[in-house]
Structure 1
Amino acid sequence: MMSRTVSLPSSSVVESAQWILLLLLIPPWSNLVMTSSPFTVALWHHNNRVSANNVCQRSEMADGGLTVRCSGLRLTQVPVGLSNLTVRLFLDKNLLSSLPAGSFSDLSLLDELDLSHNQLSSLEAGCFRGLASSLRFLDLSSNQLSSLELAALSGLRALTNLTRNPWHCDCRMQLSTPQLDLDPSSLSEVICQTSDLPNRGAVGTPLLQLLDDWDLCLSVRRSTDVVMLVTMVLWFSTLISYLLYYIRQNQEHARQHMEYIKALQGRQL
Protein backbone atom coordinates (compact mmCIF):
# COMPACT_ATOMS: atom_id res chain seq x y z
CA MET A 1 0.00 0.00 0.00
CA MET A 2 1.54 3.30 -1.05
CA SER A 3 1.72 6.04 1.53
CA ARG A 4 0.69 9.53 0.52
CA THR A 5 2.63 12.59 1.67
CA VAL A 6 0.49 15.46 2.95
CA SER A 7 2.04 18.84 2.17
CA LEU A 8 1.48 21.54 4.77
CA PRO A 9 0.67 25.11 3.73
CA SER A 10 3.68 27.38 3.48
CA SER A 11 4.19 30.04 6.12
CA SER A 12 3.27 32.81 3.65
CA VAL A 13 -0.07 31.13 2.95
CA VAL A 14 -0.75 30.79 6.67
CA GLU A 15 0.10 34.45 7.24
CA SER A 16 -2.19 35.50 4.39
CA ALA A 17 -5.02 33.46 5.86
CA GLN A 18 -4.46 35.08 9.24
CA TRP A 19 -4.61 38.59 7.71
CA ILE A 20 -7.82 37.73 5.85
CA LEU A 21 -9.37 36.46 9.08
CA LEU A 22 -8.27 39.62 10.90
CA LEU A 23 -9.78 41.87 8.23
CA LEU A 24 -13.06 39.98 8.46
CA LEU A 25 -13.17 40.70 12.19
CA ILE A 26 -12.56 44.44 11.77
CA PRO A 27 -15.71 46.64 11.82
CA PRO A 28 -16.58 48.75 8.77
CA TRP A 29 -14.22 51.65 8.15
CA SER A 30 -16.88 54.20 8.99
CA ASN A 31 -16.86 53.00 12.58
CA LEU A 32 -13.15 53.79 12.97
CA VAL A 33 -13.77 57.53 13.15
CA MET A 34 -14.71 57.42 16.82
CA THR A 35 -12.13 54.80 17.76
CA SER A 36 -9.10 55.63 19.90
CA SER A 37 -7.23 52.33 19.98
CA PRO A 38 -3.49 52.21 19.09
CA PHE A 39 -4.33 49.68 16.34
CA THR A 40 -6.62 52.20 14.64
CA VAL A 41 -3.90 54.85 14.79
CA ALA A 42 -1.46 52.44 13.16
CA LEU A 43 -3.91 51.82 10.31
CA TRP A 44 -4.09 55.50 9.49
CA HIS A 45 -0.39 56.40 9.59
CA HIS A 46 0.79 58.06 6.41
CA ASN A 47 4.35 59.40 6.33
CA ASN A 48 4.30 59.34 10.14
CA ARG A 49 1.26 61.61 10.18
CA VAL A 50 -2.22 60.71 11.37
CA SER A 51 -5.48 62.03 9.94
CA ALA A 52 -7.57 63.73 12.61
CA ASN A 53 -10.72 62.89 10.66
CA ASN A 54 -10.12 59.21 11.22
CA VAL A 55 -8.92 58.91 14.80
CA CYS A 56 -10.18 61.94 16.75
CA GLN A 57 -13.62 62.34 18.28
CA ARG A 58 -15.52 65.43 17.16
CA SER A 59 -18.60 67.03 18.65
CA GLU A 60 -20.38 70.18 17.51
CA MET A 61 -20.91 73.02 19.96
CA ALA A 62 -24.00 75.21 20.22
CA ASP A 63 -22.31 78.05 18.32
CA GLY A 64 -21.30 75.78 15.45
CA GLY A 65 -17.70 75.33 16.55
CA LEU A 66 -16.10 71.93 17.09
CA THR A 67 -14.60 70.21 20.11
CA VAL A 68 -11.96 67.76 18.88
CA ARG A 69 -10.55 65.11 21.24
CA CYS A 70 -7.39 63.24 20.24
CA SER A 71 -6.54 62.11 23.78
CA GLY A 72 -4.59 58.97 24.60
CA LEU A 73 -3.84 57.93 21.00
CA ARG A 74 -0.05 57.72 21.46
CA LEU A 75 0.40 60.32 18.73
CA THR A 76 3.95 61.47 18.06
CA GLN A 77 2.88 64.43 15.89
CA VAL A 78 -0.07 66.78 15.71
CA PRO A 79 -2.65 65.09 13.43
CA VAL A 80 -3.36 66.56 10.03
CA GLY A 81 -6.74 67.56 8.67
CA LEU A 82 -8.00 69.41 11.73
CA SER A 83 -11.09 71.45 10.85
CA ASN A 84 -10.71 75.23 10.84
CA LEU A 85 -13.93 75.29 12.88
CA THR A 86 -12.12 73.70 15.83
CA VAL A 87 -12.62 75.76 18.99
CA ARG A 88 -11.40 73.27 21.61
CA LEU A 89 -8.60 70.79 20.87
CA PHE A 90 -7.46 68.07 23.28
CA LEU A 91 -4.12 66.44 22.48
CA ASP A 92 -3.38 65.32 26.02
CA LYS A 93 -1.91 61.93 27.02
CA ASN A 94 0.01 61.38 23.79
CA LEU A 95 3.71 61.11 22.90
CA LEU A 96 4.36 64.55 21.43
CA SER A 97 7.99 65.55 22.02
CA SER A 98 8.12 68.82 20.06
CA LEU A 99 5.86 71.27 18.25
CA PRO A 100 7.09 72.35 14.79
CA ALA A 101 6.41 75.83 13.44
CA GLY A 102 2.87 76.32 12.17
CA SER A 103 1.43 73.29 13.97
CA PHE A 104 -1.90 75.10 14.50
CA SER A 105 -1.69 77.90 11.92
CA ASP A 106 -5.00 76.94 10.24
CA LEU A 107 -7.01 76.97 13.49
CA SER A 108 -7.87 80.67 13.66
CA LEU A 109 -10.87 80.02 15.96
CA LEU A 110 -9.02 77.87 18.49
CA ASP A 111 -9.91 79.00 22.01
CA GLU A 112 -8.61 76.12 24.18
CA LEU A 113 -5.60 73.86 23.58
CA ASP A 114 -4.71 70.96 25.90
CA LEU A 115 -1.18 69.58 25.44
CA SER A 116 -0.81 68.16 28.94
CA HIS A 117 0.71 64.74 29.74
CA ASN A 118 2.93 64.54 26.68
CA GLN A 119 6.73 64.45 26.30
CA LEU A 120 7.23 67.99 25.06
CA SER A 121 10.82 69.08 25.64
CA SER A 122 10.96 71.98 23.17
CA LEU A 123 8.66 74.47 21.47
CA GLU A 124 9.95 75.59 18.09
CA ALA A 125 9.68 79.20 16.99
CA GLY A 126 6.26 79.88 15.48
CA CYS A 127 4.61 76.70 16.79
CA PHE A 128 1.65 78.79 18.03
CA ARG A 129 1.57 81.01 14.95
CA GLY A 130 -1.94 82.26 14.16
CA LEU A 131 -3.32 81.73 17.68
CA ALA A 132 -2.39 85.08 19.27
CA SER A 133 -5.85 86.60 18.81
CA SER A 134 -8.01 83.55 19.58
CA LEU A 135 -6.32 81.27 22.12
CA ARG A 136 -7.39 81.90 25.72
CA PHE A 137 -6.46 78.64 27.49
CA LEU A 138 -3.25 76.65 27.03
CA ASP A 139 -2.34 73.60 29.10
CA LEU A 140 1.35 72.59 28.96
CA SER A 141 1.39 70.76 32.29
CA SER A 142 3.06 67.39 32.88
CA ASN A 143 5.61 67.59 30.07
CA GLN A 144 9.42 67.74 29.89
CA LEU A 145 9.81 71.48 29.30
CA SER A 146 12.80 73.08 30.99
CA SER A 147 12.77 76.48 29.25
CA LEU A 148 10.46 78.77 27.31
CA GLU A 149 11.66 80.38 24.10
CA LEU A 150 10.47 83.90 23.35
CA ALA A 151 10.31 83.04 19.65
CA ALA A 152 7.85 80.22 20.42
CA LEU A 153 5.40 82.44 22.29
CA SER A 154 4.93 84.93 19.45
CA GLY A 155 2.78 87.35 21.46
CA LEU A 156 0.57 84.62 22.87
CA ARG A 157 -1.60 85.89 25.74
CA ALA A 158 -3.39 82.69 26.72
CA LEU A 159 -4.06 81.69 30.31
CA THR A 160 -1.36 79.03 30.64
CA ASN A 161 -0.75 76.07 32.93
CA LEU A 162 2.99 75.28 33.23
CA THR A 163 2.91 72.97 36.25
CA ARG A 164 4.80 69.68 36.62
CA ASN A 165 7.63 70.47 34.21
CA PRO A 166 11.37 70.30 35.07
CA TRP A 167 11.93 74.05 34.69
CA HIS A 168 15.44 75.49 34.61
CA CYS A 169 15.08 78.99 36.04
CA ASP A 170 17.48 81.38 34.35
CA CYS A 171 17.49 84.74 32.58
CA ARG A 172 15.69 83.34 29.54
CA MET A 173 12.91 82.02 31.78
CA GLN A 174 12.66 85.42 33.50
CA LEU A 175 12.25 87.17 30.15
CA SER A 176 9.74 84.62 28.81
CA THR A 177 7.40 84.45 31.81
CA PRO A 178 5.91 87.97 31.38
CA GLN A 179 4.83 86.94 27.87
CA LEU A 180 2.27 84.55 29.37
CA ASP A 181 -0.78 85.01 31.56
CA LEU A 182 -0.06 82.19 33.98
CA ASP A 183 -3.00 80.37 35.52
CA PRO A 184 -3.25 81.87 39.05
CA SER A 185 -4.37 78.56 40.55
CA SER A 186 -1.17 76.85 39.38
CA LEU A 187 1.47 79.48 40.12
CA SER A 188 2.66 77.81 43.33
CA GLU A 189 3.28 74.56 41.41
CA VAL A 190 5.59 76.03 38.75
CA ILE A 191 8.76 74.83 40.49
CA CYS A 192 12.40 75.43 39.57
CA GLN A 193 14.01 72.00 39.29
CA THR A 194 17.37 73.56 38.37
CA SER A 195 18.62 77.12 38.36
CA ASP A 196 21.58 79.41 37.72
CA LEU A 197 21.46 80.10 41.47
CA PRO A 198 21.81 76.57 42.92
CA ASN A 199 23.61 77.69 46.05
CA ARG A 200 21.00 80.26 47.05
CA GLY A 201 18.03 78.02 47.70
CA ALA A 202 16.60 78.36 44.18
CA VAL A 203 16.13 74.65 43.51
CA GLY A 204 12.66 73.53 44.59
CA THR A 205 11.42 77.13 44.83
CA PRO A 206 8.30 78.35 42.99
CA LEU A 207 9.30 80.38 39.96
CA LEU A 208 7.41 83.56 40.89
CA GLN A 209 8.91 83.58 44.38
CA LEU A 210 12.38 83.26 42.88
CA LEU A 211 11.68 86.11 40.45
CA ASP A 212 10.54 88.29 43.35
CA ASP A 213 13.73 87.61 45.32
CA TRP A 214 16.38 87.51 42.59
CA ASP A 215 17.27 89.04 39.25
CA LEU A 216 18.17 85.97 37.19
CA CYS A 217 19.53 88.19 34.42
CA LEU A 218 22.01 89.91 36.75
CA SER A 219 24.83 87.48 35.99
CA VAL A 220 24.12 87.82 32.26
CA ARG A 221 24.25 91.62 32.54
CA ARG A 222 27.52 91.41 34.46
CA SER A 223 28.99 89.15 31.83
CA THR A 224 27.82 91.55 29.13
CA ASP A 225 29.35 94.48 31.00
CA VAL A 226 32.65 92.65 31.34
CA VAL A 227 32.68 91.83 27.63
CA MET A 228 31.91 95.45 26.75
CA LEU A 229 34.62 96.70 29.09
CA VAL A 230 37.22 94.36 27.62
CA THR A 231 36.14 95.37 24.11
CA MET A 232 36.47 99.07 24.94
CA VAL A 233 39.92 98.54 26.51
CA LEU A 234 41.11 96.68 23.42
CA TRP A 235 39.68 99.37 21.15
CA PHE A 236 41.37 102.20 23.06
CA SER A 237 44.64 100.25 23.20
CA THR A 238 44.52 99.81 19.43
CA LEU A 239 43.74 103.50 18.92
CA ILE A 240 46.56 104.65 21.19
CA SER A 241 49.01 102.25 19.52
CA TYR A 242 48.04 103.64 16.12
CA LEU A 243 48.48 107.24 17.30
CA LEU A 244 51.91 106.49 18.73
CA TYR A 245 52.92 104.76 15.53
CA TYR A 246 51.59 107.70 13.48
CA ILE A 247 53.50 110.26 15.59
CA ARG A 248 56.69 108.21 15.45
CA GLN A 249 56.44 107.86 11.68
CA ASN A 250 55.83 111.62 11.31
CA GLN A 251 58.80 112.43 13.51
CA GLU A 252 61.04 110.22 11.40
CA HIS A 253 59.69 111.82 8.25
CA ALA A 254 60.19 115.33 9.72
CA ARG A 255 63.79 114.49 10.72
CA GLN A 256 64.59 113.25 7.23
CA HIS A 257 63.01 116.36 5.75
CA MET A 258 65.10 118.65 8.00
CA GLU A 259 68.29 116.81 7.08
CA TYR A 260 67.43 117.22 3.41
CA ILE A 261 66.89 121.00 3.85
CA LYS A 262 70.22 121.33 5.69
CA ALA A 263 71.95 119.44 2.93
CA LEU A 264 70.53 121.78 0.31
CA GLN A 265 71.63 124.83 2.32
CA GLY A 266 75.16 123.39 2.64
CA ARG A 267 75.41 122.99 -1.13
CA GLN A 268 74.27 126.54 -1.73
CA LEU A 269 77.00 127.85 0.52
Structure 2
Amino acid sequence: MTLTTTTGPATSVAQAFFCLLLCIPWGSSCPPSCQCTERAGAKAVLCSSQHLEEIPKDIPRDVVFLKLDANSITRIPSNAFRHLSHLEEIDLSRNAIEKIDRAAFKGVAAGLRSLDLSSNRIRSIPKEALLALNARLRLANNPWHCECALQEVLWEARLELDSVQDITCHTAPRQEYVGKPLLQVLDAGVNFCSVRQRTMDVAMFVAMFAWFAMLIAYVVCYVRHNREDSCRHRDYLSSLPSAQPRADTASTAL
Protein backbone atom coordinates (compact mmCIF):
# COMPACT_ATOMS: atom_id res chain seq x y z
CA MET A 1 0.00 0.00 0.00
CA THR A 2 1.33 3.42 -0.90
CA LEU A 3 0.59 6.32 1.39
CA THR A 4 0.17 9.71 -0.26
CA THR A 5 0.38 13.00 1.60
CA THR A 6 -1.67 15.91 0.43
CA THR A 7 -0.69 19.47 1.26
CA GLY A 8 -3.59 21.77 1.69
CA PRO A 9 -3.56 25.59 1.69
CA ALA A 10 -3.45 25.74 5.50
CA THR A 11 -0.38 23.50 5.61
CA SER A 12 1.41 25.60 3.00
CA VAL A 13 0.76 28.79 4.94
CA ALA A 14 2.07 27.20 8.13
CA GLN A 15 5.23 26.03 6.40
CA ALA A 16 5.82 29.47 4.87
CA PHE A 17 5.33 31.14 8.27
CA PHE A 18 7.77 28.70 9.89
CA CYS A 19 10.39 29.40 7.21
CA LEU A 20 9.90 33.12 7.71
CA LEU A 21 10.58 32.73 11.43
CA LEU A 22 13.77 30.84 10.68
CA CYS A 23 14.95 33.58 8.37
CA ILE A 24 14.55 36.33 10.95
CA PRO A 25 17.95 36.90 12.67
CA TRP A 26 18.21 36.98 16.43
CA GLY A 27 18.32 40.47 17.95
CA SER A 28 16.69 42.17 14.98
CA SER A 29 13.86 43.73 17.00
CA CYS A 30 13.63 47.50 16.79
CA PRO A 31 13.82 49.67 19.94
CA PRO A 32 10.65 51.54 20.89
CA SER A 33 10.33 55.03 19.38
CA CYS A 34 12.92 54.12 16.71
CA GLN A 35 12.66 53.14 13.08
CA CYS A 36 14.69 50.30 11.66
CA THR A 37 15.39 50.33 7.96
CA GLU A 38 17.78 48.69 5.54
CA ARG A 39 19.91 50.47 2.97
CA ALA A 40 21.64 48.34 0.35
CA GLY A 41 21.83 45.43 2.75
CA ALA A 42 23.07 47.57 5.67
CA LYS A 43 20.70 48.01 8.61
CA ALA A 44 20.05 51.44 10.09
CA VAL A 45 18.38 52.36 13.38
CA LEU A 46 16.89 55.86 13.36
CA CYS A 47 16.09 57.31 16.79
CA SER A 48 16.31 61.03 16.05
CA SER A 49 14.23 63.52 18.09
CA GLN A 50 12.60 60.92 20.34
CA HIS A 51 13.31 62.57 23.73
CA LEU A 52 15.64 59.74 24.70
CA GLU A 53 17.59 60.29 27.92
CA GLU A 54 19.94 57.34 27.49
CA ILE A 55 21.22 55.07 24.77
CA PRO A 56 18.69 52.28 24.07
CA LYS A 57 19.66 48.86 25.37
CA ASP A 58 17.88 46.77 22.72
CA ILE A 59 19.57 47.99 19.55
CA PRO A 60 19.86 45.14 16.99
CA ARG A 61 23.31 43.59 16.93
CA ASP A 62 23.64 43.82 13.15
CA VAL A 63 23.02 47.57 12.91
CA VAL A 64 25.46 49.51 10.73
CA PHE A 65 24.12 53.08 10.96
CA LEU A 66 22.85 54.45 14.28
CA LYS A 67 21.24 57.89 14.57
CA LEU A 68 20.59 59.16 18.10
CA ASP A 69 20.75 62.87 17.34
CA ALA A 70 18.47 65.58 18.76
CA ASN A 71 17.66 63.78 22.01
CA SER A 72 18.36 64.41 25.70
CA ILE A 73 21.16 61.90 26.29
CA THR A 74 23.53 63.16 28.99
CA ARG A 75 26.12 60.39 29.25
CA ILE A 76 27.85 57.70 27.20
CA PRO A 77 28.67 54.91 29.67
CA SER A 78 31.33 52.26 29.31
CA ASN A 79 30.59 49.50 26.80
CA ALA A 80 27.53 51.35 25.49
CA PHE A 81 28.05 49.90 21.98
CA ARG A 82 30.15 46.84 22.76
CA HIS A 83 27.65 44.33 21.34
CA LEU A 84 27.29 46.27 18.06
CA SER A 85 30.28 44.82 16.21
CA HIS A 86 28.97 45.86 12.75
CA LEU A 87 28.52 49.51 13.66
CA GLU A 88 30.15 51.98 11.25
CA GLU A 89 28.45 55.31 11.92
CA ILE A 90 27.10 56.89 15.13
CA ASP A 91 25.36 60.25 15.21
CA LEU A 92 25.06 61.66 18.77
CA SER A 93 24.92 65.31 17.82
CA ARG A 94 22.51 67.82 19.39
CA ASN A 95 22.11 66.00 22.69
CA ALA A 96 22.97 67.09 26.25
CA ILE A 97 26.04 64.86 26.67
CA GLU A 98 28.31 66.01 29.50
CA LYS A 99 30.22 62.85 30.40
CA ILE A 100 31.91 60.22 28.25
CA ASP A 101 33.47 57.24 30.01
CA ARG A 102 36.93 55.98 29.06
CA ALA A 103 35.56 52.72 27.64
CA ALA A 104 32.48 54.28 26.03
CA PHE A 105 33.35 53.03 22.53
CA LYS A 106 35.03 49.78 23.50
CA GLY A 107 34.19 47.04 21.06
CA VAL A 108 33.48 49.28 18.04
CA ALA A 109 36.86 50.99 17.69
CA ALA A 110 38.05 48.89 14.76
CA GLY A 111 35.08 49.22 12.43
CA LEU A 112 33.68 52.63 13.31
CA ARG A 113 34.12 55.13 10.48
CA SER A 114 32.17 58.19 11.67
CA LEU A 115 31.31 59.58 15.11
CA ASP A 116 29.43 62.86 15.53
CA LEU A 117 29.53 64.41 19.02
CA SER A 118 28.94 68.00 17.94
CA SER A 119 26.53 70.40 19.66
CA ASN A 120 26.54 68.81 23.09
CA ARG A 121 27.68 69.98 26.55
CA ILE A 122 31.07 68.29 26.58
CA ARG A 123 33.73 70.22 28.52
CA SER A 124 36.36 67.52 28.67
CA ILE A 125 36.79 63.99 27.44
CA PRO A 126 39.22 61.20 28.33
CA LYS A 127 41.68 60.95 25.48
CA GLU A 128 41.58 57.15 25.81
CA ALA A 129 37.95 57.21 24.68
CA LEU A 130 38.77 58.75 21.29
CA LEU A 131 42.40 58.06 20.41
CA ALA A 132 41.71 54.33 19.96
CA LEU A 133 39.15 55.11 17.24
CA ASN A 134 39.81 55.14 13.51
CA ALA A 135 36.58 57.05 12.93
CA ARG A 136 36.21 60.56 11.62
CA LEU A 137 35.20 62.76 14.57
CA ARG A 138 33.03 65.83 14.80
CA LEU A 139 33.52 67.68 18.10
CA ALA A 140 32.39 71.20 17.20
CA ASN A 141 30.06 73.44 19.22
CA ASN A 142 30.79 72.09 22.67
CA PRO A 143 31.77 74.21 25.72
CA TRP A 144 35.32 72.84 25.75
CA HIS A 145 37.81 73.45 28.52
CA CYS A 146 41.09 73.78 26.65
CA GLU A 147 43.61 71.45 28.28
CA CYS A 148 46.28 68.89 27.45
CA ALA A 149 43.86 66.01 26.79
CA LEU A 150 41.89 68.04 24.25
CA GLN A 151 45.11 69.17 22.60
CA GLU A 152 46.25 65.56 22.21
CA VAL A 153 42.89 64.63 20.70
CA LEU A 154 43.20 67.48 18.21
CA TRP A 155 46.69 66.44 17.14
CA GLU A 156 46.26 62.66 17.10
CA ALA A 157 42.59 61.90 16.36
CA ARG A 158 41.01 61.96 12.90
CA LEU A 159 38.85 65.08 12.95
CA GLU A 160 36.57 66.25 10.17
CA LEU A 161 38.44 69.19 8.68
CA ASP A 162 35.36 71.35 8.22
CA SER A 163 34.58 71.17 11.96
CA VAL A 164 38.03 71.79 13.46
CA GLN A 165 37.65 75.57 13.45
CA ASP A 166 34.47 75.26 15.52
CA ILE A 167 36.29 73.61 18.44
CA THR A 168 36.41 76.70 20.64
CA CYS A 169 37.83 77.31 24.11
CA HIS A 170 34.87 78.00 26.38
CA THR A 171 37.22 78.01 29.39
CA ALA A 172 41.01 77.94 29.54
CA PRO A 173 43.91 78.38 31.99
CA ARG A 174 44.30 81.97 30.75
CA GLN A 175 41.47 84.35 29.97
CA GLU A 176 43.04 85.47 26.71
CA TYR A 177 42.36 82.05 25.16
CA VAL A 178 38.63 82.06 25.96
CA GLY A 179 36.41 82.36 22.90
CA LYS A 180 39.16 81.49 20.46
CA PRO A 181 39.35 78.35 18.29
CA LEU A 182 41.67 75.81 19.88
CA LEU A 183 43.58 75.40 16.63
CA GLN A 184 44.30 79.14 16.54
CA VAL A 185 45.57 79.08 20.13
CA LEU A 186 47.86 76.15 19.41
CA ASP A 187 49.13 77.73 16.20
CA ALA A 188 50.17 80.74 18.31
CA GLY A 189 52.62 78.49 20.16
CA VAL A 190 50.59 77.61 23.26
CA ASN A 191 51.21 74.12 24.63
CA PHE A 192 48.72 73.08 27.31
CA CYS A 193 50.65 69.87 27.97
CA SER A 194 53.81 71.78 28.88
CA VAL A 195 51.72 73.99 31.20
CA ARG A 196 50.48 70.86 32.93
CA GLN A 197 54.05 69.55 33.16
CA ARG A 198 55.22 72.79 34.76
CA THR A 199 52.34 72.60 37.21
CA MET A 200 53.30 69.06 38.11
CA ASP A 201 56.94 70.10 38.52
CA VAL A 202 55.95 72.94 40.86
CA ALA A 203 53.72 70.62 42.87
CA MET A 204 56.54 68.09 43.14
CA PHE A 205 58.97 70.81 44.25
CA VAL A 206 56.54 72.02 46.91
CA ALA A 207 56.02 68.44 48.13
CA MET A 208 59.77 67.83 48.32
CA PHE A 209 60.32 71.12 50.16
CA ALA A 210 57.58 70.24 52.66
CA TRP A 211 59.11 66.78 53.19
CA PHE A 212 62.59 68.32 53.72
CA ALA A 213 61.17 70.88 56.17
CA MET A 214 59.48 68.11 58.14
CA LEU A 215 62.76 66.18 58.23
CA ILE A 216 64.69 69.22 59.53
CA ALA A 217 61.99 69.87 62.14
CA TYR A 218 62.21 66.25 63.28
CA VAL A 219 65.99 66.41 63.63
CA VAL A 220 65.78 69.68 65.57
CA CYS A 221 63.15 68.26 67.93
CA TYR A 222 65.17 65.08 68.36
CA VAL A 223 68.35 66.98 69.24
CA ARG A 224 66.48 69.32 71.58
CA HIS A 225 64.77 66.40 73.31
CA ASN A 226 68.08 64.58 73.79
CA ARG A 227 69.67 67.76 75.15
CA GLU A 228 66.86 68.19 77.66
CA ASP A 229 67.22 64.55 78.71
CA SER A 230 70.96 65.03 79.14
CA CYS A 231 70.41 68.14 81.26
CA ARG A 232 67.91 66.35 83.46
CA HIS A 233 70.24 63.40 83.87
CA ARG A 234 73.13 65.70 84.80
CA ASP A 235 70.98 67.53 87.33
CA TYR A 236 69.91 64.22 88.79
CA LEU A 237 73.49 63.07 89.20
CA SER A 238 74.52 66.33 90.79
CA SER A 239 71.65 66.05 93.26
CA LEU A 240 72.87 62.70 94.59
CA PRO A 241 74.73 62.82 97.98
CA SER A 242 78.47 62.50 97.56
CA ALA A 243 80.27 59.44 99.05
CA GLN A 244 83.56 61.34 99.61
CA PRO A 245 82.70 62.88 103.04
CA ARG A 246 81.97 59.42 104.50
CA ALA A 247 85.38 58.19 103.39
CA ASP A 248 87.11 61.17 105.02
CA THR A 249 85.28 60.57 108.30
CA ALA A 250 86.30 56.94 108.39
CA SER A 251 89.99 57.83 107.87
CA THR A 252 89.91 60.37 110.70
CA ALA A 253 88.47 57.85 113.08
CA LEU A 254 91.36 55.50 112.41
Indicate whether the TM-score tops 0.5: yes
The one-letter code matched in structure 1 to 2:205 is L
The one-letter code matched in structure 1 to 2:100 is L
Q: Which has the larger radius of gyration?
A: 2
Cα distance in 2 between the residues matched to 1:97 and 1:262: 80
SS at match of 2:104: coil
The one-letter code matched in structure 1 to 2:113 is R
| TM-fit CA distance, 1:139 | 0.9
Cα distance per residue 1:169-220 (max 9 Å; x no partner): 2334224444522112322222223322223xx2332212212321224444
Asked if the contact 1:157/1:179 (under 8 Å) is kept, the reply is no
Asked if the contact 2:30/2:36 (under 8 Å) is kept, the reply is no
Cα distance in 2 between the residues matched to 1:111 and 1:70: 16
Q: Which residue of 2 aligns with 1:59?
A: 38
Asked if the contact 2:131/2:153 (under 8 Å) is kept, the reply is no
> Gaps spanning 5+ residues in structure 2: where?
1-28, 248-254
Structure 2 CA distance for partners of 1:74 and 1:257, relative to 1, 3 Å = closer
Aligned counterpart in structure 2 of residue 209 of structure 1, from 184, 208, 212: 184
Structure 2 CA distance for partners of 1:192 and 1:54, relative to 1, 3 Å = closer
Alignment of 1:158-237 (within 5 A): 158-178=135-155, 180-199=157-176, 202-212=177-187, 213-237=189-213
SS at match of 1:181: coil
Alignment of 1:238-253 (within 5 A): 238-250=214-226
Q: Which residue of 2 aligns with 1:118?
A: 95
Cα distance per residue 1:85-111 (max 9 Å; x no partner): 112211222232222222211111211
Structure 2 CA distance for partners of 1:242 and 1:188, relative to 1, 3 Å = same
Q: TM-score, normalising length from structure 1?
A: 0.66
Cα distance in 2 between the residues matched to 1:170 and 1:119: 21
| TM-fit CA distance, 1:260 | 9.2
SS at match of 1:127: coil
Asked if the contact 2:93/2:117 (under 8 Å) is kept, the reply is yes
Cα distance in 2 between the residues matched to 1:219 and 1:103: 34
Cα distance in 2 between the residues matched to 1:54 and 1:263: 97
Q: TM-score, normalising length from structure 2?
A: 0.69
**Aligned residue pairs: how many?**
216
Cα distance per residue 1:70-95 (max 9 Å; x no partner): 22323222223211111221122223
Q: Which residue of 2 aligns with 1:21?
A: none
> Gaps spanning 5+ residues in structure 1: where?
1-49
Q: Percent identity?
A: 35
Q: Which residue of 1 aligns with 2:132?
A: 155
Structure 2 CA distance for partners of 1:247 and 1:58, relative to 1, 3 Å = same
Alignment of 1:125-164 (within 5 A): 125-150=102-127, 152-153=129-130, 155-164=132-141
Cα distance in 2 between the residues matched to 1:258 and 1:174: 68
